[in-house]
Amino acid sequence: MDNHIKIFDTTLRDGEQSPGYSMNKPEKLRLALQLEKLGVDVIEAGFPIASDGDYETVKEIGKIIKKSTVAALCRTRDVDLERAVAAVQHAAKPRIHTFIATSDIHLKYKLQQTREQVLESAVRAVEYAKSHYDDVEFSAEDASRSDPDFLIEIFTAVIEAGATTINVPDTVGYALPWEYADLIKTLNENIPNIHKAVISVHCHNDLGLAVANSLMAVQNGARQIECTVNGIGERAGNASLEEVVMAIETRKNIMNYTTSINTKEIFPSSQMLSQITGKGVQPNKAIVGENAFAHEAGIHQHGVLKNPLTYEIMTPESVGLTCNKIVIGKHSGRFALCKKLEELGYFLEKEDLNRVYVKVTQLADEKKVVEDHDLVSILALMNNTPKKPSQKLASGG
Ligand code: KIV
Ligand code: ZN
């Protein structure tokens, strides 16, 4: 089996669907270009039936993106399909992504349809999409809460009708990693024509398991992961692109997979999204959070300054950050303080360093983080005159 994992980015569709993350057309075009630079295989550009704006945006994205596949989402209804087909008409690599729910709870309360009706709509939709484009993805919404036998039946039928990717969404983020792994394994082993399609996964993060579930799926045969920058998406979000990709990169010793992502574009992509939406990520967010490469504890700072491998499993440079961050706070030690002061241009004798250290710990008790300008003020006060970088405290005071 091929070990390449396709990265399907749905920041502009599932991500944009979440409250507070809507983007206008120029913003989406800018982000689409950045996603292409990041190296994603597929950009899900939008849901063209949702609005005229969405339709126009998908169409424009199709015109400017050359390397990545551009996907348009649609339900299995005729109007949706027609709109999606038209929206990707200019794309160099168009994909139609059609979906319908398959769980009994959705069939009964949302669709009010029987399994036979759902299967028939799915096949008709795939046939229609296939009559326009080669690349067709079918998603069984709420797959993780669907009867696996029905999933086998519907996926077999849509592959027969021409689907080249079958997606198994954990729509409500309900699955546990081993349970989801079992489902993917069952589908992989029991869909007779599965060799004609790629298994895709689309995990939501309601229990904080979206990334774990996606990785378990890969271990059991999935070869496409649907994810978003900064993990944005409906409710608690989707699997985070940066976490999925860096887990694969960092643990190559255990997971022998490749992606086409240029990891150095991860941080710039995250920053662009935050800047566009006005919503940053939490400081402790893996990979792209403000603290992801920051060290405050003295023991950690000492280790990292001697050799980053002591406390960093990946380099900040590998995700597009210029360097790690030594934060001076109440847990910092003299070693880190000394390095920080040297960075600022102050080379202190031991005795002076001890005096500064006492002042810094006092300030850190009040302030949590001691900024560079605080250090400069402490040095200046201790010498009664402001100091400029590169002056030695001991000799210049
Ligand atoms: O969560 C979901 O099931 C979806 C589908 C449309 C793929 O977003
Ligand atoms: Zn979703």
234 alpha carbon, closest ligand: 2
* Residue 136: both structure tokens together: 């067709």
Distance 103 CA to ligand 1 centre (A): 13
Mutate to test the pocket of ligand 1, among 202, 203, 238 (most ligand atoms within 8 A of CB): 202
Mutate to test the pocket of ligand 1, among 80, 98, 171 (most ligand atoms within 8 A of CB): 171
Do the Cβ atoms of 375 and 328 come closer than 8 Å?
yes
Ligand 1: residue whose CA is nearest its atom 8: 14
Cα torsion angle, 141, 225, 68, 9, sign? positive
The CA-atom distances, in angstroms, between 352 and each of 98, 231, 360, 390 are: 68, 46, 12, 15
Domain spanning 6-277, CATH class: alpha beta
Query: Domain extents for the chain?
Result: 6-277, 294-396
Q: Which tens digit of pLDDT belongs to each residue from 334-390? A: 988 998 898 888 899 999 999 999 999 999 988 888 988 899 889 888 874 444 554
Q: Which tens digit of pLDDT belongs to each residue from 11-59? A: 999 999 988 999 999 999 999 999 999 999 999 999 999 999 999 999 9
What average pLDDT is seen over the chain? 94
Mutate to test the pocket of ligand 1, among 139, 204, 206, 228 (most ligand atoms within 8 A of CB): 139
Which atom of ligand 1 is the closest one to the Cα of 141?
3
Report the alpha-carbon distance of residue 41 to residue 46 in Å, rounded.
Answer: 16
List, chain by chain if needed, residues with CB within 6 Å of any ligand 1 atom: 14, 99, 139, 141, 167, 169, 171, 202, 204
Distance 351 CA to ligand 1 centre (A): 62
Task: Please report which confidence band the pLDDT of residue 396 belongs to, taking 50, 70 and 90 as the band edges.
Answer: very low
Mutate to test the pocket of ligand 1, among 99, 206, 234, 238 (most ligand atoms within 8 A of CB): 99
Distance 238 CA to ligand 2 centre (A): 7
In the chain, pLDDT over 90 holds for what percent of residues?
81
* Residue 13: both structure tokens together: 């569709």
Angle subtended at Cα 141 by Cα 140 and Cα 146, rounded to the nearest 5 degrees: 75
Which atom of ligand 1 is the closest one to the Cα of 169?
3
Nearest CA to 239 among 219, 217, 213? 213
Is the pLDDT score of 393 beyond 90?
no
Q: Which tens digit of pLDDT belongs to each residue from 317-330? A: 999 997 777 889 88
Distance 101 CA to ligand 1 centre (A): 9
What's residue 303's pLDDT? 87
DSSP H or E stretch at residue 357: helix 350-367
Q: pTM higher than 0.85 for the full model?
A: yes
Distance 12 CA to ligand 1 centre (A): 13
Ligand 1: residue whose CA is nearest its atom 2: 171
